[in-house]
Structure 1
Amino acid sequence: MPQPASPKDPIDPRGLIREAYVIEGISEPECRSIFLDWAIGVPQGEDTRAHVATLLDRYGPAAPDHPMTRVLRDGLAQWDRTGRRGGRRGRVTD
């Protein structure tokens, strides 16, 4: 099991990601829900991508097959993708 971060961790202040790693039998959909809750809680102006990378570095090596590790990797991949962004702005020119 990965080494849990301090409960006062500024990257995971509510311990959501830490707790996901210790829940026996947690599924990937549950991890996605936890990740979304965590991401919504990141204060505006903070570098969410950097936080995800830090969490992946912290927990990924000890739990490479854990569903939360897959979710964190997927989250990083979303920031690293290039190309068209969705929504109205991607379709309308000014």
Structure 2
Amino acid sequence: MDLSQFDPKGLIRESYQIDGIALPECRSIFLDWALSLPQDSDTQAAIDALLAHYGAEFPDHPMSEVLRDGQVQMTAPRRRGGWRSRPRD
């Protein structure tokens, strides 16, 4: 399976190859990965594909845990702040 469309920089792939990587590092890599995706990409589909590929082989890896959390907790980004959030006189 070609995962380059879901992991264009190879960040997730590389995280699975780092010996002794811990959950905080995986979260940081996941954030970098999510921010590097094109804005119109389907993040949920990417997470599902990556987890299907890597999660079966590495179910106890911290990145698999982060990806599973992303399946449940990932929502579309919302803009906060700006002029609408400021109190009116």
| TM-score by shorter chain over 0.5 | yes
Q: TM-score, normalised by structure 1?
A: 0.75
The reply on whether 1:31 has 2:36 as its aligned counterpart is no
Q: What one-letter code is carried by the residue in structure 2 that aligns with 1:46? A: S
CA-based RMSD = 2.2
What percentage of aligned pairs have identical amino acids? 55
The reply on whether 1:45 has 2:40 as its aligned counterpart is yes
Alignment partner, residue 92 of structure 1: none
Q: What one-letter code is carried by the residue in structure 1 that aligns with 2:11? A: L
Which stretch shows the higher mean deviation, 63-72 or 9-18? 9-18
Deviation at 1:11, TM superposition (A): 1.0
- Give the distance between the partners of 1:64 and 1:56, measured in 2 at CA: 9
The Cα offsets for residues 33-54 of structure 1, whole Å up to 9 and x where unpaired, read as 0000000011011100110010
Aligned length: 79
Q: Which is higher, the Rg of structure 1 or of structure 2?
A: 2
Q: Which has the higher helix share?
A: 2
The reply on whether 1:22 has 2:17 as its aligned counterpart is yes
The Cα offsets for residues 4-23 of structure 1, whole Å up to 9 and x where unpaired, read as x76x8111111100000000
Which blocks of at least 5 consecutive residues in structure 1 are unaligned?
81-86, 89-94
- Give the distance between the partners of 1:36 and 1:79, measured in 2 at CA: 11
Match for residue 76 of structure 1 among 67, 71, 88? 71
Q: TM-score, normalised by structure 2?
A: 0.79
Runs of 4+ in 1 over 4 A off after TM superposition: none
- Give the distance between the partners of 2:61 and 2:74, measured in 1 at CA: 21
Which blocks of at least 5 consecutive residues in structure 2 are unaligned?
82-89
